[in-house]
């Protein structure tokens, strides 16, 4: 065997070793369609690594490389601890910045609709699946059901924990109920109802009395008094074509009442709590694009990211200009999450495209 041929064989083996490790950097067109799970970027989305290796004592390596991701939540007290909600595979968690994953017990075959972490006690995790809310007090090792709707067809689609008083938890249902607990989930009360699904609840990072919730197709609502009264922005958002059809929503950390809303129209921004809205110009094809996920740098509201079914977009000037890059998977960019300590680090969770999820964005 010649030295040249031997070197070629070694090179092939090294390439195979990288692909089997679950942490790939570049992919062929055919392989891309097979990639699920989580991707991590350490350079604002310029390049991605496939982070899907399951921590195991077994000789054969196991991965979450074919898993559909519904949620990515970073522990507010430890940016190396990350929780994943999945479709039909329960919850996975990582304690080393996504280098390896472990599977939580008890919710194994469930689809996780929402995840929330107690901001002051990293041991306490809340999750919803179907008509139930579950709670863990041991860092997601075990879960106990703390609430269920008597109607099996109702889903708990959103969860949020008050960062000032973490005994207070909010939940949103597919029936349109806003539920509130004052004692860590022991008891729940319906405090408000709308005739639409509650897709997401966000508590302002600057004032926990300010809360927004987004509906599937009726716009967003806001309270400034912890849910005692609510204001609808349906009338304001109807001015934009398909502006009521929700996709994602993010509050600004560095502007007291700032928020970006992703909807079927595109991206809309408010810096005064919804009193006025402005359109953000997007760098998308003329026929529009399917927008699935949104993220904003927690230290700089001018740095915005959004993901579609094919492309990852990034702006550093508040949406005046955009750079774009093809996704590292043929699955859609379902979730984007930014490391709050190191905003150059981004996590991307992908999901197999469903025809019912297609919402064309016309800008």
pLDDT digits 0-9 by tens, 325-351? 999 999 999 999 999 999 999 999 999
Q: Which domains does the chain have, with CATH numbers?
A: 3-246+317-358 (2.120.10)
Angle made by CA atoms 18, 24, 25, in degrees to the nearest 5: 120
Report residue 291 as tokens: 């927008």
| Cα 213 to Cα 20, 112, 216, 322, distances in angstroms | 42, 19, 10, 28
Q: Are strands 360-361 and 278-280 parallel, antiparallel or unpaired?
A: unpaired
Among candidate residues 96, 115, 110, the one with its CA nearest the CA of residue 23 = 96
- Confidence at 32, pLDDT banded by 50, 70, 90: low
Which letter does DSSP use for residue 101 in this model? B
Tokens 């699946």 locate to 129
C-beta atoms surrounding 167 within 10 Å? 14
What's the pLDDT score for residue 15? 41
- Confidence at 60, pLDDT banded by 50, 70, 90: confident
CA dihedral 285, 338, 299, 283 (to 10 degrees): 0
Distance CA 55, CA 97 (A): 13
The pLDDT of 13-34, averaged and rounded, is 45
What's the pLDDT score for residue 56? 79
- Spell out the residues 6+ positions from residue 217 whose beta carbon is closer than 8 angstroms to its own: 196, 244, 245, 246
263 within 8 A of 243, measured Cβ to Cβ: yes
Q: What percent of the chain has pLDDT over 90?
A: 82
Report residue 242 as tokens: 């398909």
Residue-wise pLDDT tens digits, 80-122: 999 999 999 999 999 999 999 999 988 989 999 999 999 999 9
Sequence-ordered strand ranges (E) for 224-309 = 231-232, 246-251, 259-263, 267-270, 278-280, 289-296, 304-308
| Cα 93 to Cα 88, 109, 275, 363, distances in angstroms | 15, 15, 39, 37
The pLDDT of 25-50, averaged and rounded, is 79
The mean pLDDT of the chain is 89
Report residue 40 as tokens: 């991590």
């Amino acid at each position: 065997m010649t030295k040249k041929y031997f070197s070629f064989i070694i090179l092939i083996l090294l390439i195979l070793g990288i692909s089997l490790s679950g942490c790939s950097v570049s992919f062929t067109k055919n392989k891309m369609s097979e990639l699920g799970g989580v991707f991590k970027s350490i350079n604002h989305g310029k390049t991605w690594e496939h982070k899907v290796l399951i921590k195991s004592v077994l000789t054969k390596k196991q991965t979450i490389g074919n898993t559909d991701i519904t949620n990515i939540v970073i522990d507010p007290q430890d940016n190396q601890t990350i929780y994943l909600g999945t479709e039909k595979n329960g919850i996975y968690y990582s304690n080393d910045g996504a280098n390896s994953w472990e599977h939580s017990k008890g919710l194994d075959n469930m689809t996780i609709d929402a995840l929330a972490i107690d901001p002051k006690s990293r041991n306490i995790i809340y999750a919803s699946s179907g008509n139930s809310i579950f709670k863990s007090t041991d860092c997601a090792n075990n879960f106990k059901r703390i609430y269920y709707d008597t109607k099996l067809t109702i889903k708990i689609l959103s969860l949020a924990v008050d960062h000032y008083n973490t005994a207070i938890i909010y939940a949103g249902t597919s029936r349109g109920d806003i539920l509130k607990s004052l004692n860590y989930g022991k008891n729940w009360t319906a405090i408000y109802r709308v005739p639409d699904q509650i897709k997401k609840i966000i508590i302002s990072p600057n004032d926990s009395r300010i809360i927004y919730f987004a509906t599937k197709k009726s716009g967003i609502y806001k309270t400034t008094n912890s849910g005692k009264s609510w204001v609808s922005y349906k009338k304001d958002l109807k001015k934009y074509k398909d502006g009521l059809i929700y996709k994602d929503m993010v509050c600004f950390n560095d502007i007291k009442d700032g928020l970006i809303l992703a909807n079927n129209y595109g991206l809309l921004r408010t810096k005064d709590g919804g009193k006025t809205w402005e359109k953000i110009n997007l760098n998308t094809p003329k026929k529009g694009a399917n927008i699935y996920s949104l993220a904003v740098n927690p230290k700089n509201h001018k740095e915005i990211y959004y993901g579609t079914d094919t492309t990852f977009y990034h702006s550093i000037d508040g949406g005046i200009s955009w750079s774009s890059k093809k996704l590292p998977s043929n699955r859609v960019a379902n979730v984007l999450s930014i490391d709050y300590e190191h905003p150059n680090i981004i996590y991307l969770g992908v999901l197999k495209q469903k025809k019912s999820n297609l919402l064309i964005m016309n800008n």
